[in-house]
A = this chain, B = another copy of it.
Amino acid sequence: MARMIRPLANVHEQLRRLPGIGSKTALRLAYHIIDMPEEEVRRLAETLLEAKRQIRLCDICYNLTDAETCEVCGNAGRDHSVVCVVEQPQDVMAMERSRGYNGVYHVLHGVLSPLDGIGPDNLRVKELLRRLQGDTVREVIIATNSDVEGEATAAYLAQLLKPVGIVISRIAHGLPVGGDLEYADELTLSRALENRHRM
**Contacts of A4 on B, CB cut-off 8 Å?**
93
**Contacts of A53 on B, CB cut-off 8 Å?**
38
Q: Produce 1/0 per residue, A62-96, CB < 8 A to B.
A: 00111000111000000000000000111001001
Q: Tell me whether B51 and A2 are in contact (CB under 8 A).
A: no
Report Cα–Cα, A32/B48, bound state, in Å.
Answer: 11
A99 at the interface (CB under 8 A from B): yes
A160 at the interface (CB under 8 A from B): no
Known: A1-B72, A20-B28, A90-B31. A42 touches B49 (CB 8 A): yes
Q: Tell me whether A2 and B93 are in contact (CB under 8 A).
A: yes
Residue of A28, A36, A41 with most chain B CB atoms under a 10 A cut-off:
A41
Q: Produce 1/0 per residue, A141-178, CB < 8 A to B.
A: 00000000000000000000000000000000000000
Q: Tell me whether B96 and A1 are in contact (CB under 8 A).
A: yes
Report Cα–Cα, A151/B122, bound state, in Å.
Answer: 59
